Structure 1
Amino acid sequence: MTVAAVSGLLDLPLPGGGRTRERWTALQRLARENVVLGRMAEAHADAVAILAELGGPSVGPSDSWGVWAAEPPEPILVATRRGSTWSLSGRKPWCSGASSCTHALVTARVDGTPALFAVDLRVDGVEPVPDTWHAVGMAGSDSGAVDFDDVAAQPVGATGDYLSRPGFWHGAIGVAACWFGGALAVADVLYDKCERGTASPHALAHLGGVDASLAAASYALDCAATEIDKDPSDRFGEGRMRALRVRRIVEQSVTDTLDRVGRALGAGPLCMNADHAQRVADLGTYIRQSHAEQDLEALGQTIVEKEPTWRTR
């Protein structure tokens, strides 16, 4: 199933509009059905939210958008201005939906600084690079590199707006909602076994651990959605801290779920249940979109700069 096939499900409330949890629940459900589908849907929904926040071209009903914003040291995609028009040249790595998206929001360097551009990927000069995506998990996301050769592009916002806007951190939690959906699906095989009354005491203990981890993630997502809807423009400056916390909580829940389900049930589901095996592989790769200790360092630095409110209650 493709993003285009579920386009009707992707008419989602924008983050911060009072229905943020509804938005995340829809993404969670898609990821629970298929992790790759959830990841692609999240990117499309994020692109729609970015365009609403920063302005840009409208999104058509049959469009499938990606957000290609990875900025490794190399290779580099460069934006060049000629009068009133812009074009992109170079190679962009980590492009989910490289061969399937119709459009993308792409970061490219302007005088060394990343800026955001909207690109129609169906024009000449856009070429997915073969043999640049070797993943077993998330293989279906087709997240290889794409080459751009003097491709027309439309600026979206001013240079720096993509990262500085409040919605950047709201969108970061949308990714965690998809992680959570994938974890729910992985846990289903353990819940099902225990509910049939055929589980060992150790499996029941793992079920308790999984349930507590998933509940914590659910509570964190619920609380974050409420806070975002109360402060969509991040006037209180807590968006970054909130997103890093929630992503950490959900990532821990996913890791705990993957480990405990495997320990409780052994190799059987991984070897005999193709859907479960693929889901485990996909989710293990997907959560590495977290930057692990780098994100924890960023959270620690944020805490040093801004004391958490819960510590002073």
Structure 2
Amino acid sequence: MTAASATDIARRLVGDNPDVPLPGRGDTGGRFRFLLDHTRSDIPVGRLVEAHLDATAILDELAASSPGADQLWGVWAAEPPSPVLTATSTSSGWRLSGTKPWCSGASGCTNALVTATVGATRPLFAVDLTHPRVRPEPSAWHAAGMARTDTRAVHFADVPAEPLGDADAYLERAGFWHGGIGVAACWAGGAHAVADRLFGSVTPASDELRLLAAGRIDTALATARALLSDAASEIDDAPDDLSSARIRALRVRSAIDEIASTVVTGVGRTLGPGPLVGDADHADRVADLTVYIRQSHGDRDLASLGRLLAEAHPEPTATDRTSA
């Protein structure tokens, strides 16, 4: 299966499912289950679908037009020190120039939401990727994992773009954090996909170590689903609570990152090297998930969570003061 075919599959999938629930509208759980299930079926496709659904939610929140039929949207918001994509206001509207890195679906997406530099800010813009001055750069992706997402740099040369909201509108939304949990739902789906190889090998006659591994991994996956379900209920109860959204997203993402890592390690230790070298589908799933969960910021996210918790409860308890 080629990289281009993953975007084709994702484009058909979002076209066939135009009514996936938006976050905070009463069925966020259904949204997360959709992402989990489709990433379990195909991890790179699930990642592309998640981006399109996130774009749909962002456009809805920022009072912009919804994606059109037969479109596949990306959300390209990586902001490393270089290269830099710059937005300039001209007499004929905003224009984008420069290079945007880490663009998934670079040659297959029809549209994207893109952050760009305007002075010291990074506002969000909608851009039509069919414009002739949008050019994906040659791929520099050397890993097998997530190669089918066609993630690479994209160059813009004076390309028209539509600004969405003010300079802080993209990041200063509870929806930004709801979207982050949507990514974690995809990680959970990928973990299920990797675990399926182990579960398919277990019978009542299996040795105790294999049964132990199956039980441990099943428990971990059930924990991931419960976290997503609880998070969905909380989002639906208070969709605009930014403070809670930050804490919730960091907590859920960190937990599911760890669960997915546990699944990859546990399945590998139990099944040994055979499936990794003899089962192409399983090897692809392991490689895809291993790369995908590194979209998490790992220990930095845990430190951010700890800081938010400390700020929410700045006064130490009497016991804490005594022990200190």
Scaled by the length of structure 2, what TM-score is found? Answer: 0.92
Change in 2 beyond 3 A, CA 1:10/1:27: farther
Structure 1 residue 253 corresponds to structure 2 residue 259 = yes
1:231 aligns with 2:238: yes
Q: CA deviation at 1:297?
A: 1.1
1:231-275 Cα distance to aligned partner (Å, 9 max, x none):
01116x210000000001111110000000011111111122111
Number of positions where the alignment pairs a residue of Structure 1 with one of Structure 2: 307
1:113 and 2:113 matched? no
Equivalent residues in 2 for 1:155-166 (5 A)?
Answer: 155-166=163-174
Name structure 2 gaps, 5 residues minimum: 1-5, 318-324
Deviation at 1:204, TM superposition (A): 1.2
Give percent identity, aligned residues only. Answer: 51
Q: Deviations over 1:23-69 (max 9, x none)?
A: 01011111000000000000000000000001223311100000000
Helix, strand or coil: the match of 2:181?
A: helix
Return the TM-score normalized by structure 1. 0.95
CA distance in 1, matches of 2:313, 2:197: 41
* Contact kept? 1:56, 1:118, Cα under 8 Å: no
State the distance in 2 between where 1:113 and 1:33 align.
Answer: 38
Distance 2:128 2:256 in 1: 34
Match of 2:293 in 1: 287
* C-alpha distance after superposition, 1:195-235 (max 9, x if no partner): x3352211111112111211111111111000000001116
Equivalence for 2:310: 304
Q: State how 1:117-156 maps to structure 2 within 5 Å.
A: 117-156=125-164
Deviation string, structure 1 residues 136-168 (Cα, Å, up to 9, x no partner): 100001110000000000001111110001100
What's the secondary structure of 2:145's corresponding residue?
coil
The code of the aligned residue for 1:295 comes to: D
Relative to structure 2, which stretch is displaced further, 205-214 or 159-168? 205-214
Whether 2:69 is the aligned partner of 1:61: answer yes
Contact 2:139 2:151 in 1 (8 A): no
Asked whether the 8 Å contact 1:10–1:45 carries over to 2, the reply is: no
Gaps of 5+ in 1: none
CA distance in structure 2 between the partners assigned to 1:112 and 1:90 by the alignment: 16
Match of 2:35 in 1: 27
- Which position in structure 2 is the counterpart of 1:88? 96
Give the alignment's Cα RMSD to 1 decimal. Answer: 1.4
Mapped partners of 2:260, 2:207: distance in 1: 22
Match of 1:244, as an amino acid? L
